[in-house]
Chain A
Amino acid sequence: MDIVVIVMIVLGLFFYFAGSVGVIRFPDFYSRLHPAGMMDSMGLLLVMGGLAIHVATGVATGDPKIIESNDILSAVKIVLIVVFVYITSPTATHAIVDAGVRAGLGPWTKKKSEDSDGKRMD
């Protein structure tokens, strides 16, 4: 079970890393939000899933053979973190996109980049 937990957490951290790289590499405001907002949710799912398994199997607190009710409660709390973030994260992302639209920022498209050498015109 330890191996599963480690693999999940490392994969989750890899997704976080990919999200950061994506924020730097993508061309404009709107496309940068894709890795920023969503790779995070995937990384969170994996990391928190790994932690929940780790806690629920009782490795963290005492004897791994005895599963205590406290361990289950902690696992439920960790799962609740994921639930709340999955509700709030799209809402926050939408708010940021909406702010961009209201400010009048046009999205980066391929044609524009060929015409004006990457410069954006609104």
Chain B
Amino acid sequence: MSSSEKNNGSSEKFRIIPFIATFVIMLTTWFVFSGKFKIPFIVMGVISSLLVAYFSHDLLFPKRTVFKGMSFTWFKFVTYIPWLIYQIVLANLHVLYLVFHPRMNELINPQIIKFKSKLKKDMAQVTFANSITLTPGTITVYLSVYGDYTIHAIDDASCEGLPGEMEKRVGKIFGE
């Protein structure tokens, strides 16, 4: 019980930067989704964004969030997306070929592979795991906090590139 009380005590300290950041993100989302720029809509948006930002600024930016270099990380993440989509298209074509192949059962070789990743940060590990799952032919089965990945692969060609280049690129985004 004492630990939870401690948590409550420290979360009551109001942090202004996460609040403002959450508010700006919420308001931007509001304008994109509403698409109306008349006074009543703007007032409603500001009020609800303020409420949501007040309630959940801890949710979007947890306590130990480091703001330094965050925008740079986001920029690097955006530059990673085109390469990821290119990989998704390549792998999709491969799975497409497998799906329509008449002797598909001889071509595929479902297997579970394990490897240890060098990534340390939570976000880097999750991004890497989701990238693996997004690429057809490989699904992340299990991921431990120490970076042990268990991957289910549909055939040999799908998993031969792992961890490889994708890990390097994800590591580059998060500066590892």
Interface residues of A, Cβ cutoff 8 Å to B: 15, 18-19, 21-22, 25-28, 30-31, 33-35, 37-39, 41-42, 45, 70, 73-74, 76-77, 80, 86-87, 89-91, 93-94, 97-98, 101, 107-110, 113
Q: Which of B105, B136, B137 sits near A42, CB closer than 8 Å? A: B136
Question: How many of B's residues come within 8 Å of A, CB to CB?
Answer: 33
Residues A34 and B142 in contact in the complex (CB < 8 Å), given A42-B92, A77-B32:
no
Say yes or no for B35: interface residue by CB 8 A criterion: yes
Residues A38 and B110 in contact in the complex (CB < 8 Å), given A31-B154, A90-B130:
no
New A-B pairs, 9, CB < 8 Å, besides A34-B154, A38-B133, A73-B35: A27-B110, A34-B137, A34-B139, A38-B92, A39-B99, A42-B92, A42-B136, A101-B142, A109-B109
Say yes or no for B111: interface residue by CB 8 A criterion: yes
By beta carbon, the residue of chain A nearest B136 is A38
* Residue numbers in A under 8 Å from B133 (CB-CB): 37-38, 90, 93-94
By beta carbon, the residue of chain A nearest B96 is A18
Q: Complex formed: what's the CA distance from A101 to B141 in Å?
A: 8
Say yes or no for B112: interface residue by CB 8 A criterion: yes
Q: Which of A35, A77, A108 sits near B95, CB closer than 8 Å? A: A35
Q: Which of B95, B112, B152 sits near A39, CB closer than 8 Å? A: B95
* Residue numbers in A under 8 Å from B35 (CB-CB): 70, 73-74
Asked if B136 and A33 make an inter-chain contact with CB atoms under 8 angstroms apart, the answer reads no
* Residue numbers in A under 8 Å from B100 (CB-CB): 18, 21
Interface residues of B, Cβ cutoff 8 Å to A: 32-33, 35, 85, 88-89, 91-92, 95-96, 98-100, 104-105, 108-112, 129-130, 133-137, 139-142, 152, 154
Q: Which of B33, B85, B88, B105 sits near A77, CB closer than 8 Å? A: B33
By beta carbon, the residue of chain A nearest B112 is A107
Asked if A42 and B89 make an inter-chain contact with CB atoms under 8 angstroms apart, the answer reads yes
* Residue numbers in B under 8 Å from A93 (CB-CB): 133, 139
* Residue numbers in B under 8 Å from A74 (CB-CB): 35
Asked if B99 and A38 make an inter-chain contact with CB atoms under 8 angstroms apart, the answer reads no
Asked if A80 and B32 make an inter-chain contact with CB atoms under 8 angstroms apart, the answer reads yes
Nearest Cβ in chain A — how far from B21, in angstroms? 19
Q: Which of B89, B137, B152 sits near A107, CB closer than 8 Å? A: B152
